[in-house]
Amino acid sequence: NAGVMQNPRHLVRRRGQEARLRCSPMKGHSHVYWYRQLPEEGLKFMVYLQKENIIDESGMPKERFSAEFPKEGPSILRIQQVVRGDSAAYFCASSSGGENYGYTFGSGTRLTVV
């Protein structure tokens, strides 16, 4: 059981480029959550997805950010035209569903925009 796998671990992008962050949930998990963590701050919810569906994206900025969780393959968080303020650690968590099921987090992707 490989756990939640995120890649890349570190990503450097120039302002204006696109960043694509990948998350493969634990085997058997069909619920994926994305969180952003700024330095010295807590985890902020961005989006909650199930296979092929966005369930809640209330924490996601309206522009430049999008997420998907296709029927096959990992979940993708895409940030277009990155700006310096997008620099943060992005964590993915997965669960088998329901409020009483614990999350399992990945190790995160650290995005640096230069």
| Footprint of other proteins (CB under 8 A) | 4, 6, 31, 33, 35, 41-45, 48, 55-56, 58, 91, 93, 97-100, 102-108, 110
State the residue for tokens 């969780």: 69
Q: How far is the CB of 54 from other proteins (least distance, A)?
A: 12
Nearer to other proteins, 43 or 76 (CB): 43
Which is closer to other proteins, CB of 74 or CB of 108? 108
CB of 102 to other proteins, least distance (A): 5
